[in-house]
């Protein structure tokens, strides 16, 4: 095997994708070596089916659901799309989406052809429940889409309260829990969500596999026609190895939840160091994921921060998205009313393999880079 790219480096970009857990690599390898099509009735097929069903129970356990509520798909994007398309097929004709939702939700909603109403957030990134109550007080049946935790800021949304409002209005609440899973404890019934999206690669499983979890009221609609796999909802031979890796990652994520929660202490220590150098923590006044830090620093552009840290072996990401060489301001931060901070924000996110030293090293490198930049500016002035 070749030397892993990340070896010797500090990887703090788990919200982009997690390092794959050894348990997942082991489960994937075993499934690939075993082979077998879960639809075949012979021994190899039955073993592959058992692998898929074990993983279904493991993924269900991550969110307090019954295994039968889990539909395996290609990732979080497909899970969001299946939820929104199913709600529309179920008669919903109004789409209400949180202002800081991921593109997977936003673009699916916009592509539906239905009118999309954007549900505002406050300065901390929290969805405005009064706005929702007023919006639901009249009009046709709606689907509300509210992520459990934001990918950039880690802000945790008041999903339970939103679900109560949407239910009272006879609507459907879809929750993108892609970033929250494995980082905070989740119970789909307690949340009151009708559908919940998950992605394996955010919890230490492989890329290209995810799941939609359906609550008791949700009626999912078939997306792909064919052999009728996944209870007729998604035809195509199951990604057995990917699903096995997803299940193993889910089991490990449940086990590691207390350790991940404890990372908030290391994250907050870094936040204090950066704040002393002028950084502002976004979403600081809201409940947040324990391992996500989004900071903005005037005069220290996001792309410069990312590149400088990368050269020193520390990987983080820009709050702003970069497409075809042009940096776009972060929509999430703009929606929070901080357009002025959108091009100077970065996201630092830990995960299952992150040590305290990783957070400290990130702070050391960042502070050195920031001080060097300030000295250069002073001597140029």
Strands 142-145 vs 172-176: parallel, antiparallel or unpaired: parallel
CB nearer to ligand PLP: pick between 174 and 361? 174
CB nearer to ligand PLP: pick between 24 and 365? 24
Tell me how far, at minimum, the Cβ of 198 lies from ligand PLP, in Å: 9
Sign of the alpha-carbon dihedral angle for 84, 85, 88, 90: negative
Tell me how far, at minimum, the Cβ of 162 lies from ligand PLP, in Å: 16
Residue nearest to ligand PLP (CB): 76
Q: How far apart are CA 65 and CA 215, in angstroms?
A: 8
Q: Which residues contact 303 (CB under 8 A, 6 or more apart)?
A: 318, 320, 322, 327
CB nearer to ligand PLP: pick between 102 and 361? 102
Place of tokens 């209400």: 96
CB nearer to ligand PLP: pick between 38 and 206? 206
Q: How far apart are CA 290 and CA 286, in angstroms?
A: 12
CB nearer to ligand PLP: pick between 246 and 300? 246
The beta strands (E) that lie in the chain are given as 10-11, 70-73, 94-98, 116-119, 142-145, 172-176, 195-199, 210-214, 280-281, 292-296, 314-315, 317-318, 321-323, 326-328, 345-349
Of the candidates 70, 343, 112, the one whose C-alpha atom is nearest the C-alpha of residue 213 is 70
Interface residues toward ligand PLP, by CB under 6 A? 75-77, 80, 102, 104, 147, 151, 176, 178-179, 199, 201, 210
Tell me how far, at minimum, the Cβ of 239 lies from ligand PLP, in Å: 13
- Of residues 93, 145, 294, 322, which has the active-site annotation? 322
Structure tokens at 162: 């939103």
Structure tokens at 201: 């690669």
Tell me how far, at minimum, the Cβ of 105 lies from ligand PLP, in Å: 7
362 given a catalytic annotation: no
Residues with a known catalytic role: 322
């Amino acid at each position: 095997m070749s030397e892993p790219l990340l070896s010797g480096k500090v990887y703090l970009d788990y919200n982009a994708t997690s390092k794959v857990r050894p348990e997942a690599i082991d489960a994937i390898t075993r499934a690939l070596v075993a082979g077998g099509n879960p639809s075949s009735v012979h021994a190899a097929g039955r073993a592959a089916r058992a692998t898929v069903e074990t993983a279904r129970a493991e993924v269900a356990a991550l969110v307090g659901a019954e295994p039968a509520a889990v539909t395996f798909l290609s990732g979080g994007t497909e899970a969001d799309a299946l939820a929104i398309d199913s709600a529309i097929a179920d008669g919903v004709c109004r789409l209400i989406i949180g202002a800081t939702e991921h593109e997977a939700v936003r673009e699916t909603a916009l592509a539906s052809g239905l009118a999309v109403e954007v549900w505002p957030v406050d300065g901390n990134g929290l969805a405005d429940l009064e706005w929702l109550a007023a919006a639901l007080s009249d009009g046709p049946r709606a689907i509300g889409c509210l992520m459990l935790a934001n990918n950039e800021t880690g802000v945790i949304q008041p999903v339970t309260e939103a679900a109560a409002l949407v239910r009272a209005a006879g609507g459907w609440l879809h929750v993108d829990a892609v970033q929250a899973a494995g980082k905070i404890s989740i119970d789909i019934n307690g949340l009151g969500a009708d559908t919940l999206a998950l992605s394996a690669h955010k919890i230490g499983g492989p890329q290209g596999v995810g799941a939609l979890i359906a609550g008791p009221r949700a009626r999912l609609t078939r997306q792909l026609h064919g052999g009728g796999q996944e209870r007729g909802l998604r035809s195509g031979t199951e990604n057995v190895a990917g699903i096995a890796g997803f299940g193993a990652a889910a089991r490990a994520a449940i086990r590691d939840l207390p350790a991940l929660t404890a990372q908030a202490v290391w994250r907050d220590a870094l936040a204090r160091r950066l704040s002393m150098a002028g950084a502002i923590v976004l979403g600081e006044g809201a409940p947040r994921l324990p391992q996500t830090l989004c900071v903005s620093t005037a005069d220290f552009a996001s792309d410069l921060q990312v590149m400088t840290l990368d050269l020193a072996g520390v990987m983080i990401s820009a709050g702003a998205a970069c497409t075809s060489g042009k940096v776009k301001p972060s929509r999430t931060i703009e929606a929070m009313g901080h357009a002025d901070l959108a091009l100077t924000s970065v996201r630092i996110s830990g995960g299952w393999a992150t040590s305290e030293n990783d957070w400290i090293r990130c702070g050391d490198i960042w502070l050195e880079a920031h001080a060097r930049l300030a000295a250069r500016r002073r001597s140029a002035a």
